[in-house]
Chain A
Amino acid sequence: MSLQNPSLNSTIKRLTAFGGAVWGDCYVMTPFTEEDIFAVFQFAKASGKKVVLRGAGRSYGDASVSQEQLAISLEKMNSVLSFDQTLGIIEVQGGMSLLELCRYVVGYGFWPPVVSGTSRTTIAGAVALNIHGKNQYFEGTFCEHCLEYKLLSSDGVLHTVTAQSDLGKALPGHLGLFGVLISVKIKLKKLSIPFVYRQKLPIRNWQQQIASMEACLSKASAVVSWVDGCTDGAGTLEVAYPPDSSSHSPNQELDISEIHKSNQETGSGLGQKPHRPLPIGPGPHSLAATLGPYALRLAIQKPLLPLTNALRRWADRTLGSQAKLCDLYRFNFQLDWLWDWDTAYKPGALVQFQAGVPRAESEAIFPALVNLCHRRGFPPTLLVLKRHRPGVGILDYLGDGHSLAIDINQVKGTGPAVAALYNELTEMILSVGGKIYLAKDFLLQEEQFQRMHPAQSISAFKEWRRKMDPELILTSSLAERLNL
């Protein structure tokens, strides 16, 4: 904390969104206590500045970006406050990452019920966007497993908010605009082993994508499809089954008790406190993390993209079509093996367009979106398809349907062309009653946003924001852009 220092100059940092498409420079404060946070609010009021809340910066959009304002990062407030091992209820500070949480609880036989595709998301960031995982259809969104929040509003009041209270119902997806999430109590999921059975099914086209996904819903515990953007919807449907279910695969019988035993022998046993943190996932200095982005940079080049995708599908078909045990880290956070893989898109940027559409529209709209990307000269570098049930946040983008995430390689100098494409994609989504995921967005216009969400939802959000932060000290580029 350098608030005593009259010059803020040396605290300024560039806050870049994941993918590098949008950024802003802010004076970053890293408080240790709630008093420190309140001091930042007071300083902001005295100096006429606003405050943006910053998690791990894993949003692709401008939700945690602002220009020349103060920023609060809770990176030093990342501890476990309490843990009831019997009930599986843990209270952690908002700055803790999903990776830290997983590492902490996995040894006790637990896992967060909902995680994002990256383990680096913070708990506060997970609540602020009400994130979802590959299991959203089955487990819902992150906040559906939060029991209680501690929220410090800009007037210095620490609110203890139960999930059932009115404020508790407004907090999922509050975009960091209601107050600082100091801590969250989460109900964890009990595991028999930290594995799932994973099966990778080759898919031929969009029609089959939707149908196959639907077919596995009754038995799976998570489902996601990696679609090849250079084909008419061919790809790999990745299905997870609970490790103790017999539904995964008739041709593979694995003895769970054997795995359990071998885990205990190797020190990664469950139901007991491990002697050392479980070695899940590589760090930023691993070989994969160092070399991966270079390989990826080559793989996403336009002429090579069809080959890259075809190779990937071939590998999935050859190696993955039988259900195999897969640890939860590998299943959930596979992109993290390459750590800061968005650097592969430099000196350009990675832009992600992610939209949710009603089930009946998916089969027709998704190929149309992808075709448009091709026509505008931006073949998607990655397409991720998920199945959803309605979300619980006021401005949630999820309904009973699907979401598609489209990765776009914004080669240097093509910013305006990508913005134009994004606008066209948005209009197509609007035409079928779909919505854009704000975690990924920095281009949506206020007027489009108003067409996307019911007027009463937008005004409910605005009312909560003004009630919790009447002077609108909390801000973000997203909040200003959409006039929230």
Chain B
Amino acid sequence: MNEKVIIIGGTSGIGEEIVRQLAKEGASIAVFGRNRTALTSLHSDFPTQVTTFEHDVTSSFNADSLLESAAAELGGLDTFIYCSGVLHASDPDDFDFAKDSEMIRVNLLGAIQWLDAVATRMASVKKGSILVIGSVAGDRPRKSMPGYGASKAGLHFFAEGLRYKLWDRGVTVSNVKPGPVSTPMTASLPMPMKISAEDAARRILKLRHKSGNHYLLLSQRIIFGIMKIVPEAIMKRISF
């Protein structure tokens, strides 16, 4: 039987690449996102494999019934991927609640709402894989993105807790923490060592059934491992 996947935020960047690569592997995928043009183009590229749902995670929605409809379209559910994310990098004088709360709503609250519904189903079925896209930015707060970092740190915490809750019920929870990736999200940001969205998606997909926190590159594991123990006195002076 082919893999049945739901992805939230599969319309751009890493998520879109994930959808395309999964479709090439033969999976059936339900793609959620707001961008109607992107949804239509994915469906027309893979008409028999991709079904689409226009969806804004910040709107009021019933995750249970959306999950039911998507799983019914797919004829089951093996893997759930939460990829939606927004990043508003902040300037030194920028303390903007609207931007910060949007990041919390998309990156964390939307994820939690979906993950609670998916975990209920998978715990009951006693099988399934959950993959969330975290970020190295959630490992250690940084001047340029306190809101984004907080949302991703929250997501890491939630995913890890879920993993502990579900470990004996046949459900894996994988939290992948990419470093810089070339996507529309980071197009205007001067980030070093960006990898392509295609490469990131390929590496992420390899980890989708592996419970745990994962980095995509060894170099990132080392750099961000060190970042975690850098003293505050130094962190205050780093500008990125």
Contact = CB atoms under 8 A, between A and B. Distances in A.
Contact of B127 (A9, A14, A49, A67): A14
Contact of A12 (B65, B74, B124): B124
B125 interface: yes
Nearest to A49: B72
Interface in B111-143: 117, 120-121, 124-127
Contacts of A417: none
A68 B6 CA distance: 15
Contacts of A6: 64-65
B124 A68 contact: no
A9 B75 contact: no
Contact of B121 (A12, A24, A49): A12
A391 to B, nearest CB: 32
Contacts, number: 40
Interface string B99-117: 0000000000000000001
B170 to A, nearest CB: 9
Contacts of B117: 9
B77 interface: yes
A389 B117 CA distance: 52
B76 interface: yes
Contact of B71 (A11, A14, A68): A68
B64 A7 contact: yes
B126 A25 contact: no
B65 A25 contact: no
Contacts of A49: 72
Interface string A11-25: 111100000000011
B68 interface: yes
Contacts of B205: none
A86 interface: no
Given A9-B67, A9-B117, A9-B120, A67 B125 contact: no
Contacts of B67: 9
A9 B64 contact: yes
B68 A13 contact: no
A432 interface: no
Interface residues of B, number: 17
A9 B128 CA distance: 14
A25 B71 CA distance: 9
A164 interface: no
A25 B120 contact: no
Contacts of B64: 6-9
Contacts of B127: 14
Contact of B125 (A7, A8, A12): A12
Interface string B53-81: 00000000000110110011011110000
A24 B126 CA distance: 12
A266 interface: no
Given A9-B64, A9-B117, A9-B120, A14 B125 contact: yes
A165 interface: no
A9 B71 CA distance: 11
Nearest to A68: B72
A256 B139 CA distance: 79
Contacts of B75: 24, 67-68
Interface in A4-50: 6-14, 24-25, 49
A250 B182 CA distance: 87
Contacts of A67: 75-76
B86 to A, nearest CB: 27
B125 A24 contact: no
A13 B76 contact: no
A132 to B, nearest CB: 31
A10 B126 contact: no
B65 A7 contact: yes
B24 to A, nearest CB: 19
A13 B124 contact: yes
A20 B74 CA distance: 21
Given A14-B126, A14-B127, A25-B125, A8 B120 contact: no
A103 B237 CA distance: 78
A14 B171 CA distance: 13
A25 B76 contact: yes
Contact of A9 (B68, B72, B76, B126): B68
Nearest to B73: A68
A6 B63 CA distance: 12
B125 A10 contact: no
A454 B98 CA distance: 71
A304 B73 CA distance: 44
Nearest to A69: B72
21 contacts: A6-B64, A7-B64, A9-B64, A9-B67, A9-B120, A9-B121, A9-B124, A10-B120, A10-B124, A12-B121, A14-B127, A24-B75, A24-B76, A25-B71, A25-B76, A67-B75, A67-B76, A68-B71, A68-B74, A68-B75, A68-B76
List the 5 closest A-B pairs by CB distance, nearest first.
A7-B64, A67-B75, A68-B72, A9-B64, A14-B125
Interface of B: 64-65, 67-68, 71-72, 74-77, 117, 120-121, 124-127
Interface of A: 6-14, 24-25, 49, 67-68
Given A9-B121, A25-B77, A68-B72, 9 more contacts: A9-B64, A9-B68, A9-B124, A10-B124, A13-B124, A13-B125, A24-B76, A67-B75, A68-B75
